[in-house]
Each structure stands twice: as C-alpha cells, then as structure tokens.
Amino acid sequence: MKIIDSHCHYNLEPLYSGRKENEENLQASETTWSSHWQRAQEMGVCGSLIVGTNLHTSQLALEIAATEPQLLAAVGIHPSEAVSLLDQWGEADAGGQLNQQLETLSKMSEQASAIGEMGLDYYWLTDSEAKAQAIELQKQLFIGQIRVAAAKSLPVSIHVRDREVPEIPTPNNAYWDALAIIKSELTADLPVIFHCISGPLNYIKEINTLGGYIGVAANVTYPNAETIRTAVAAASPEHILLETDAPYLPPQGYRGKTCEPWMVAETATYLKQEMRLKPEQLLENTIRLFPQFNSGASLL
C-alpha cells in the first residue's frame, strides 16, 4: 500500500525534536522528525505535506521539506493565531500585526507547495465581545491567506471548527462563515482542501458541489464519528484525501497517545475495509493536487 499523508505536522512537538511543548531544557531526544518519517516510510508512506500553523512552524516546514523531495511544505497561519494577536496587541494594533504577518507569509510562499493551515475556529470563543473581535480578525486572516494562495496558484488547506453544527446557514458559525468566504473568494483554479473534515452534512454537500477536497483523518475510526463517515460516504471518491494531522487525532486503538505519522496506514486500512475506498484512488487524488510527489518517485 502506497500512502501520501496530505496533512501532517513533523514541524510540531513532540514530533519535531521529541520534546513536549514548553520543555525547552530537556535533553535532545532520539526520536526526532526524521525518525518518525523513517518509520512512516516503513509503513508505506511515500510522501507528506507538512503544514505550518504560524510563521515559525511554517519556516520549520520549509526547512524540513528542503531536506527530502518527498516532503512538501505548506505555509500558513492557523485561525487561533488571530486570538493570540488580540491578546498580545489589543484590538487597535492586532490588525496591523496581522497584515505584517501576511506580508512575511507571502514571501515565504515562494518556496511552498500550498498555503495553510488557515480558516476559522470559533470552538474556544465564548465571551461575546471578545468573540466578535476574534471572528472579525480570523476572517481577515483567512481572506488574506486565500488571496496569497490565489496570487501564487497554490492549493489551500482549510481548518474549520465550531461547537455548533447547524444544518442551515447560520451567522457567526465557523462552518457557514468559512463556506461563505470560500464562495466569495474562490477563483477558477484554486484547489481547496477541507482538512480533517467535520461539520454539518449540508455544509459538506456544498463543499462537494464546489469541487473541494475532503481530508479524512483518523477520527473517522472513532465509534461516535457517524457524521464523518456519512460525509465520507457522500463525497465523491475523486475528492477524498488521506491525512494524519499528527501529532493530533490518533486512530481508535491509540487514543490518548501522540498520533505518529505512520498511523496514517491505520486510517488507510480502515477506509479500505470499512468504507471501500481504494488506497490507489486516494494516492491518485493527492498526486493530482501535488504532482511534485510523483516526480521524485514514480508512484503511479
């Protein structure tokens, strides 16, 4: 089985250096990103898109990708960074800081294969005044990054999360706000990947209609993930991609542990056995979006 992981974070801890977040002084670990990549290859992984979450981790993604032709980098700023900017700079200055970051990101995109992850995440927003400010800034950050991607003709990797999953378009809901932004900003040739798909079924149907790609992670294997399985069953098989989102979201048998990049093989097996999705089809879909994966090694 040949697998390409379309969304993975070798650039985040504990995968990158083996340290846990905030454990700067620990001795360097034996288990660094390259040993995870080695292990993943032994399980059939022959390529991976390493996805940035802020300027620092995007830079790390570029550095890792530069060492190995089968590793590609996406540079992007996660929506939660908008909340950090507000906390750090206040409402008056956060927008200016955000624009500076977008400028830097645009320069970094010269070496990238995709832009992301970007999107909207209202999951942790509760206080109503702070929520309104954060939503506004998240939208600004999202739109800014779609425009960087459109200018460079690079695919976008989108993260969307919210507590509510309403089946009808609802204002101030991350799923429906994201869809509205995509519809207004989408240009003819801009491939969009909705990574780690979740959300109401009607929203997912709209993504299908728009020709968006759906990234399926190991949470499809969870017993209560009926909505995700229904969404995957409803999606066109030509628009489904496989991903780990490692170090997050381990498959059912490994819950509570760090998700390691090799575990994408578990998800591939599940999709083949339980959902009749052929690994060859998923591989072909990823190479259609990222032909670079097939130029270093002949995978098809």
- Least distance in angstroms from the C-beta of 132 to Zn ion: 26
Cα–Cα dist 146/102, whole Å: 11
- Least distance in angstroms from the C-beta of 245 to Zn ion: 5
Using N-to-C axis directions, what is the helix angle for 80-108 and 128-152, rounded to 10°? 20
Residue with tokens 């980098």: 73
* Choice between 65 and 299, CB closer to Zn ion: 65
* Choice between 81 and 245, CB closer to Zn ion: 245
User: Interaction with Zn ion in 62-121: which residues (CB under 5 A)?
Assistant: none
Using the rule CB under 5 A, which residue among 162, 206, 243, 245 binds Zn ion?
A: 245
C-beta separation of 213 from 289 below 8 A: yes
Query: Binding-site residue total for Zn ion (CB under 5 A)?
Result: 1
Q: Does 13 bind Zn ion (CB under 5 A)?
A: no
- Least distance in angstroms from the C-beta of 112 to Zn ion: 15
C-beta separation of 201 from 231 below 8 A: yes
Closest residue to Zn ion, based on beta-carbon distance = 245
Cα–Cα dist 178/139, whole Å: 8
- Least distance in angstroms from the C-beta of 240 to Zn ion: 17
Cα–Cα dist 152/134, whole Å: 27
**Is the sign of the CA dihedral 146, 78, 8, 110 positive or negative?**
positive
* Choice between 162 and 245, CB closer to Zn ion: 245
In this chain, which stretch among 216-224, 228-236, 237-245, 284-292 interacts with Zn ion, using CB under 5 A? 237-245
C-beta separation of 12 from 53 below 8 A: yes
* Choice between 243 and 266, CB closer to Zn ion: 243
Pairing of strands 114-121, 3-8: unpaired
Chain positions contacting Zn ion, by CB under 5 A? 245
